[in-house]
Amino acid sequence: MFMENKKLVPPDGGWGWIVVMGVSAVNLCTRSIEQSFGLLFGDLLKDLGVETTGAAVIMSTLDALINFSGLFTGPLIRAFSYRKVSLAGSLLVAIGLILTSWANSMAHIIATYSIINGLGVGLTASATFVALNNYFLKRRGQAIGFSLAGTAFGMMLMPQAVRLLLDEFGFRGAIFLLGGFALNSLVGSVLLQPAKWHYVSEEKCLEDGDYKQEMETIKEDGEDEDTEQAEVNKLISNHLVIKTFEELKAGALTRKSTFPRNFSTMSFMGNRVGRRRTSKESIMSSYSRLDFTGSSIQLAIDTPESLAQEAPNSNNPSRLRRNMSYPGVQFSPQNKVLKELQMEHEKFKEQQKTPWQKIVKFMDFDLLKDPIYLNLVFGLSVFYVAEQNFKMVMPFFFKSIGYDKQDIALFLSVQAFTDILARLILPPICDRLDVSKRTLFMTGIFFLGLCRSILAQQTAYVWILVWLVIAGFIRGAALINFAITISEYATLEKLPAAFGLHNVGKGLFVVTLGPVLGKIRDATQSYPFCLHSQTVLIMTCVMAWLIEYLIEYCRTRTAESEKSDTDTMNT
């Protein structure tokens, strides 16, 4: 008779889909305004006399705060929870937008919109991403894709909403109402319940051999030592004193048990040589207070007589016959002492660490020693700078070739609509492909860069719409795999820190390269040239990752060749 091994795992659905809806609502209320920045702030920046350079500084500062917040979102999420962090971030976004309605200078806009709002967006972005990764394993791509659809849906509707609000209430009234709209993200954050509340039991397939016997026999020597030692620690936790056999006999130890023994059929097979071992003196102990039948363990302690009957090569000092209530363990005082010494040594090493070493461990800075992770962050950061600059410059580009606010709002909505289609259609397909998410992302951004360079050369209304449709769909196809490239590489334990440090990397690149792209536009007085420079950044990401792939391929071939040569020599 067999029972399946079960453990608690993320539901990959269930309440997880409610969490997807919550994350989508948070994204809709906090991030959908970003693409409409030029449309919303354009007139104010023109009145302040800063135009493109001022917009670049504001957006670069915003992105820096969004990303530098990742430096402490990991520790915050571990100290509190992703739901509390998301609630705090949602509140900051609303406050920042509302306070921006009184802005009459660059410094005011930077303080409220870039810093306060940016910090809130950074907190919500990290918290919602960690929440999704805690709820989904196999359907992670679908979950993240559907949640990002909220952002794309907002980007489709927000340009039209911003245009209507500006016409009706002006800049100050429009951004004040948008701040009130951001308060709805609190509702989405409340839905991010701890994933452990909804874990389900995993059922293993018996055909894979992942099962256990209902009544198992003694463990063979040397098997599952860590598990057995852990069980020993549980058994001796109630001040059980280890004594010798002579001491136990002196204390009126009897061999007769109060409860019947339970054996599996395998217990009569004996040890490895195929014979049953000679019966030994045993101790009967009942430990379970909940099992009223008297769940028991039987400790078979070696005596001089029994040791003489053992095989000469046997070095096991003590054995245990197990019944159906407790698994078999090796009851070895020596192992317990060694375990305690090891724990004391670990505590001593922890006390000897310098403050900086403790910070490195707490913040998981050891990730920065991984060259693959660093290259991954580099590529994502370079693409992010290009993407953010494109969203900022695009409204100005359309305005420079003679289109009004209504046309610009339509262009932005069309691109966002095809972006949504890609995020809804492609995630289930991508999850079934035997290709890494990083490779899919790299392929997507390669074609996205080409499409945007072609779009930069268009002036006709119809052709602009055609290339916006294509570029929007490819953008959605690429961005559904943007964040997953991090979770695909990092473990769930390291994920908050990996995602936070990735955000810090993006922030550094935004601060460094963002204003440079603005200066390029102002120096050349050409928006198409600025869009082409964004494509160069995208291709830089592609080249960096291709070089890494090539190096890994060469290393793999070399290792396989050396292994083949070794096998040939051995034969």
pLDDT band at 115 (very low <50, low <70, confident <90, very high): very high
Span 293-310, mean pLDDT? 46
**Cα separation of 464 and 456, whole Å?**
9
| Cβ-contact 4, 206 below 8 angstroms | yes
Backbone CA torsion sign across 356, 362, 365, 370: positive
Residue 150: other Cβ atoms inside 10 A: 25
Q: Above pLDDT 70, what percent of the chain?
A: 69
List CB contacts of 515: < 8 A, sequence separation 6 or more.
53, 56, 57, 60
55-91 pLDDT tens trace:
778 877 887 788 788 777 778 888 888 899 999 999 9
**Cα separation of 431 and 440, whole Å?**
11
Residue 17: other Cβ atoms inside 10 A: 17
Residue boundaries of the structural domains of the chain: 2-201+364-556, 217-340
Is the model more confident about 259 or about 380? 380
Alpha helical stretches, state H, 12-139: 15-31, 37-48, 51-68, 70-79, 82-100, 106-109, 117-135
| Cβ-contact 288, 295 below 8 angstroms | yes
For the chain, what is the mean pLDDT? 74
The upper half-sphere exposure of residue 159, i.e. CA atoms within 13 Å in the direction of its Cβ, equals: 26
Is this model's pTM higher than 0.85 or not?
A: no
- Find the Cα–Cα–Cα–Cα dihedral 429, 432, 436, 439, rounded to 10°: -30
319-365 pLDDT tens trace:
444 444 444 444 455 566 666 667 776 666 666 667 766 666 656 66
Is the model more confident about 53 or about 130? 130
- Per CATH, the number for 2-201+364-556 is 1.20.1250.20
For residue 293, the model assigns a pLDDT of 41
Span 219-227, mean pLDDT? 43
